[in-house]
Chains A and B, each alone.
Chain A
Amino acid sequence: MKLIRNGTFVEDDFITVGDGDQLPDGAAIVSLERWQAERETLRARNAPIGVRLQSGQEPGAIADDLDRIDLVALEFPVYRNGRAYSYARLLRERYGFKGEVRAVGNVLRDQFQFMIRCGFDALEVTDNITPEIWAENAGSFSLFYQPSADGKETVLSLRQRLAARAQEKATA
C-alpha cells in the first residue's frame, strides 16, 4: 500500500489498530466501534487520532467529536460502492471538518479525481500506482459542472464571469 496525501507520495504516519490491539504511542486509527466504546480515553489521548468508517457508518455518528478527531478514513469495500463519496462531502461541507479525509479499501485510479472533488485529501492506493499514473488520472478533467467539496470553480461560474467581462467591455 502507498499513501498519497495532497498529491504527494508520503510515509503513513498513522497506524491502523484492531479493536483488541494495544494503542501505539503515536498517531492511530481506530474503528467506529472502538471510538464509541473508548471515547473518553481516546479523546483525552495526547497523540493524533483517526476513526475509520465502514460503508453504512455515516459521519453523523462522529459529528460531535470532529473537533478532536484528526483523520477520518472512509472505506470503499469495492470500487462500485460509492457511499463514501457522500460521506466525504458531508464531512467537508456539512460538518466543516478540516482534518484529513482518507480513502481506503478498493481505490482505483479512475476514481482519483472523483475522490478529490468530494473532499478526500489522502488516498491509500495499491503499490503499482506511480506518480505518473497519479498525475494522469488526478487531472483527467479540467472543467467541472457541479459545485463540490473541493471548491473548484464550476462551468456555470466561468460562464457568468465571461458574460460579465463581455458586458464590461461593451459598456466601456
Chain B
Amino acid sequence: MYRYDEFDQQLVNERVAQFRGQVGRRLSGELTEDEFKPLRLMNGVYLQLHAYMLRIAVPYGTLSSKQLRMLAHVGRKYDRGYGHFTTRQNLQFNWPALKDMPDLLAELASVEMHAIQTSGNCIRNVTSDQYAGAAKNEIEDPRIVSEIIRQWSTFHPEFSFLPRKFKIAVSGTPDDRAAIRVHDIGIQIVQNGKGEIGYEIYVGGGLGRTPMIGKKIAGFVPKEDLLAYLEAVMRVYNMYGRRDNIYKARIKILVHEIGVEEMTRQVEAEFAELRKAGALHLPQEEVARIEAYFRPPSHENLPDDSAELNKAVLADRGFANWVKSNVAQHKVPGYAIVNISLKPIGGVPGDCTSDQMDAVADIAEKYSFDELRVTHEQNLTLAHVRKKDLHAVYELLKAHDLATPNIGLITDQIACPGLDYCALANARSIPLAQQISERFADIERQHEIGELKINTSGCINACGHHHVGHIGILGVDKKGVEYYQVTLGGAADEKTAIGDIVGRAFTEDEVVDAIETIVTTYIGVRQNGERFIDTYRRVGIDPFKESLYETH
C-alpha cells in the first residue's frame, strides 16, 4: 500500500490547518453560510436534508486496518457509531457537527486520510478495481497509476474550478470492475505488441440525466506521457466545457456536442504541446518508487487445492453458498479473494457500524496482509486470504453479520440515499431496496436466480447508477405521488450499456411484484444457466414487456 512521505503528510496537515481557520470564521459569524459554502465543499462537507455530511476519501478504495480502525473510532466519537460506504469507494458520515470537523480531520490526517476533493467541481478521488494486485488476468496493478493521478490532481491550480465535478476510474484487467466507461475519464491499462504497458483512454462517460458511454480517444498512451495526456484532456474541458447550465456542464456533453473526432483532435493538439514542454514527463524512478509500495505481499507457497476448504464446503451449507458467491479466484495458488457483503437482508446498502469496521480491520490484519478494499458496489474486499483460512474468516464475519452470501446476487443492490437524506429525491430508495431484499431473502432462491444487479436512484441525478443496473429503478414524481420507472439490460462492465425503459412506471405497491415478474420471466426463458444480462441480450425486452403489462 502507498505510504505518505514527509511531503504528502505536510500537505494534508496544511489543509487541516487551513480548514480549521475557515470553520473558526464560520462559527464566529465572520463568514455567512453562503461564503462558507465553497470552502466546505473543498473539504468534503455537504449540507444535507438534516445535517452536515462529511465524505472521506478512500483513494482507489484501498484501506489499511489501521485506517479502518480510525474510521470506526471517528464514527463512534463524532457520529452515531456507523458510516456509509459510497459508490465511489468513499466513506460518509451523516451526522458530525461542524465544530468537530477540524479535530476529526486532524485525527484522520494522523493515519494518512483526508476529505480533499471529495466534493466540488474538481478532479475527485480516483476509483479503481477492488481486486487490484490479486486478479488473475491483471496487466498491471491499477493502484500505481491511480496514486500517480491522485498526487497530480491534488490541489491542481488550473483544475480546481472546472465546469463540473470530474471523475476518473482505472482498470488493470480486461474485465472491468471499476465501471470505467461511465466515468468522465476511464483508463484501461493495456499492453502493446512490444510488451510495453500503456493506457487506453475513454472520455465522456457518465450517468445523471443524460447517460452516456465513454468514447475511446486514445488506444495507447505511453506511461511516461500519461499526465501530459490527462492534463490535455482537462485543459480542453476547462476551456470549452459549458458553464451556462449545470446539467450540460459535464465533459460528456462537450464530447457529445463537438463529436468524438473533434474532441480527439483538440486533445491531441494540446497533448503535443504539453509533451513538447516536457514538465509533466513522468520519470521512471518516480514510477518505480510508487510501484514499490504496491509490490505483491509475501504470499506463501501453497498448493492450490485446500483440503480444509473442501471439507468445510461439504460440511457447512451456509459456508458453501458464501464461497460460491462471495469468494473469487486469486492469481496466486492457494489464495482467494473474499468479498464482504454490506447488504444484509433488509439492511441499508453500504452502511457499516464502527464495531463491524473494527472486526473487519482485525480480520484483515490477521488474514489478509493488513489491508482491505472498498468496492464501487458498496461492499468490502479482502484481497489475499489463504484458502485454508476461508472458513475461519467466514465464521468471524458471520459473528458480525458480515457474511451474507449474496455478492452479485439480487439482494446485492446499489441504492442512493433518496428521500431519507436528499432534498432532490422524488421517491424513497433505501426503503425500496430493503423491501426487495426482504422479498428475495431466501438465499437458495437467490443462488438459483444467479448474478443480477438491481440499482435504484431516487431521482434523475442517478446517484444510485440505475442506468447501468441489470434492472434499474428510478424514482419519478407524478403529481406528488412516488412512482418507479424500471429499466432492463444496463451494465457497467466491459460491455457497458444503458438500460432500456420497460414501460409505464409502477406505484410503490406494484414495483416489488414487478421485479418478481421480471425474475420469473427470466427464469422461464433462460438457457443453459445463462446470467440475467445474457438472457436479456439474447431475447430483448419483449418477453418482459408482455409479462409485465399483459392485461388480465
Contacts and interface: CB of A to CB of B under 8 A. Distances in A.
A155 interface: yes
Nearest to A151: B279
Contacts of A118: 157-158
Interface string A134-170: 0010001111111110000001101110010000000
A22 B154 CA distance: 46
Contacts of A55: 243
Nearest to A77: B243
Interface in A98-126: 108, 110-111, 113-115, 117-118
A110 B37 CA distance: 12
A85 interface: yes
B152 interface: yes
Contacts of A85: 157-161, 238
A132 B18 CA distance: 15
Nearest to A156: B286
Given A79-B38, A82-B162, A156-B286, A58 B154 contact: no
B286 A158 contact: no
A39 interface: no
Interface stretch (B3-11, B137-145, B198-206, B485-493): B3-11
A155 B7 contact: yes
B235 interface: yes
A108 B22 CA distance: 13
Given A140-B18, A159-B5, A163-B285, A145 B159 contact: no
B277 interface: yes
A70 interface: no
B280 interface: yes
Contacts of A144: 155
Nearest to B238: A86
Interface in B6-48: 7-8, 10-11, 14-15, 18, 21, 38-39, 42
A130 interface: no
Contacts of A117: 157
A40 B517 CA distance: 76
B283 interface: yes
A6 interface: no
Interface residues of A, number: 37
Which one of A82, A143, A144, A156 has the highest number of Cβ atoms from chain B below 10 Å of its Cβ? Answer: A82
Interface in B440-459: none
Interface in A59-89: 79-83, 85-87, 89
Which one of B39, B155, B285 has the highest number of Cβ atoms from chain A below 10 Å of its Cβ? Answer: B155
B285 A81 contact: no
Nearest to A164: B285
A96 to B, nearest CB: 11
A145 B273 contact: no
Given A140-B18, A142-B10, A80 B152 contact: no
Interface string B148-172: 0001101111111110000000000
A94 interface: yes
B121 interface: yes
Which one of B15, B38, B239 has the highest number of Cβ atoms from chain A below 10 Å of its Cβ? Answer: B239
Nearest to A118: B157
A108 B158 contact: no
A159 B243 contact: no
Which one of A143, A160, A163 has the highest number of Cβ atoms from chain B below 10 Å of its Cβ? Answer: A143
Contacts of A141: 11, 14-15, 18, 155
Contacts of A110: 38-39, 42
A146 B152 contact: yes
Which one of B8, B152, B243, B285 has the highest number of Cβ atoms from chain A below 10 Å of its Cβ? Answer: B243
B289 interface: yes
Given A114-B160, A147-B280, A158-B7, A81 B286 contact: no
Contact of B7 (A87, A94, A114, A143): A143
B155 A89 contact: no
Given A159-B7, A159-B286, A79 B14 contact: no
A93 B273 CA distance: 10
Contact of A93 (B7, B14, B277): B277
B157 A113 contact: yes
Interface in B226-264: 235, 238-239, 243
A140 B279 contact: no
A87 to B, nearest CB: 8
A80 B158 contact: no
A147 B156 CA distance: 9
A140 B14 contact: yes
A78 B243 CA distance: 11
A80 B289 CA distance: 36
A61 B350 CA distance: 51
B79 to A, nearest CB: 27
A155 B151 contact: yes
B301 to A, nearest CB: 34
A55 B366 CA distance: 56
Contacts of B235: 86
Give 9 closest A-B pairs by Cβ, nearest first.
A82-B161, A117-B157, A147-B279, A114-B157, A85-B158, A155-B7, A145-B151, A86-B238, A140-B18
26 contacts: A79-B161, A80-B38, A81-B161, A81-B243, A82-B159, A83-B238, A83-B243, A85-B157, A85-B161, A86-B239, A114-B155, A114-B161, A117-B157, A118-B157, A140-B18, A143-B10, A143-B11, A143-B14, A144-B155, A145-B156, A146-B156, A146-B280, A147-B280, A155-B151, A159-B286, A160-B286
Given A85-B238, A115-B157, A163-B285, 20 more contacts: A80-B161, A82-B158, A82-B238, A85-B159, A85-B160, A86-B235, A110-B38, A113-B157, A114-B160, A114-B161, A118-B158, A136-B21, A141-B11, A141-B15, A143-B7, A145-B152, A146-B152, A146-B156, A148-B158, A159-B5
